[in-house]
Amino acid sequence: MINEVTRIMTAAEYAAQYGLHRVGARPDLVSYLKQAWARRDFAFELARSRLQATNQRNRLGMLWVVIKPTMNALMYGFIFGILQGGNKPQDFPVFVVIGVFLFEFFTGSVNSGAKSITGSAALVQSLAFPRITLPIAAVVQQFLTLVPMLGVMFVYCMILGTTPKWSWLMVLPLLVLFTMFNTGMALVCARLTVHIRDFTQILPLITRILFYTSGVLFGVDRILNAFPVLVLMFDFHPIYQALQIARGSIMNGVEYPSFYWVVLSVWALAALIGGTIYFWAAEERYGRVD
């Protein structure tokens, strides 16, 4: 009589046979993005509710959205206006207002994006959903904050003597590209913070350095005219390009090279695609955040 030996199947083999998947397993990138898109309403409502909660905690509420960049523009404009003397760009008050208001969007996106995973530990550990929705919700929150800021910014520009014109509409495609770039940076910062908790302490220093070196408060061609190589490098600086396109679209008599749109588009796509892949690659790590 021939005895047949029955092999005991492993748990992994049982799972494969019945189509079971490990809890928290990272799906392929396409499936992951489809899942994130299916939860777009969740991301928007999360952003809206957090913005509302933030405003309710302050006595002046939504007014702080415009008070803060206004005070920054006044303070930095006064100080750097004195320091630059005759090297100030034309229409310097408008120049500073546009730079400070738009840079506030970048700073808010990367700072809130960096804390989106570690600051939502209970949510991350208790519910199954694509974690990418959290940093995206952080950027959406900053975009919702930016909308009233833009309205106030245009009012300031008109008060300071800027004439409304059709080119102001070019700010709309610019915001699309700038939001894509900020989202990519927020995704990178979100993952870095999970691996290196001290990154949140370093990030404000990084954004402050970028603030002072991105042409927010000075005209690159005037301050760095003795260093043509540095001036040339700014032609490939994404934040500087975004600010210059905005200034060229809004201000009177300000021009910018048309290829800035091409370079900024490349930066925006590279940041969004690279940031998405970089964040997705560590998806399984986020569920163990503590």
Condensed to tens digits (0 to 9), the pLDDT of residues 73-82 reads: 888 888 878 8
pLDDT of residue 153: 92
pTM above 0.95, yes or no: no
Indicate the pLDDT class of residue 206, thresholds 50, 70 and 90: very high
Of 287 and 145, the one with more pLDDT? 145
pLDDT of residue 20: 46
Q: Is the pLDDT of residue 30 over 60?
A: yes
If DSSP states are collapsed to H, E and C, what string results for 126-158? Answer: HCCCCCCHHHHHHHHHHHHHHHHHHHHHHHHHH
Q: Which amino acid is at 59?
A: R
Provide the total of helices (H) and of strands (E) in the chain, helices listed first: 14, 0
- pLDDT tens digits for 46-65? 999 988 887 777 666 667 77
Return all residues near 231 (Cβ < 8 A) that are at least 6 apart: 220, 221, 224, 225
Q: Is the pLDDT of residue 4 over 50?
A: no
Maximal C-alpha separation, the chain: 104
Domain boundaries, the chain: 27-282
Return all residues near 289 (Cβ < 8 A) that are at least 6 apart: 117, 118, 121, 124, 125, 194
Start-to-end CA span in the chain (Å): 59
pLDDT of residue 97: 93
Percent of residues, the chain, with pLDDT higher than 70: 87
Q: Is the pLDDT of residue 193 over 50?
A: yes
Q: Is the pLDDT of residue 2 over 50?
A: no
Indicate the pLDDT class of residue 107, thresholds 50, 70 and 90: very high
pLDDT of residue 12: 53
Q: Is the pLDDT of residue 3 over 70?
A: no
- pLDDT tens digits for 132-146? 999 999 999 999 999
Q: Is the pLDDT of residue 202 over 80?
A: yes
SS3 215: coil
Of 244 and 227, the one with more pLDDT? 244
pLDDT of residue 288: 63
**Range 159-173 average pLDDT:** 92
Of 124 and 131, the one with more pLDDT? 131
Q: Is the pLDDT of residue 23 over 70?
A: no
Q: What is the mean pLDDT of the chain?
A: 86
**Range 264-284 average pLDDT:** 95
**Range 233-257 average pLDDT:** 91
Percent of residues, the chain, with pLDDT higher than 90: 53
pLDDT of residue 26: 76
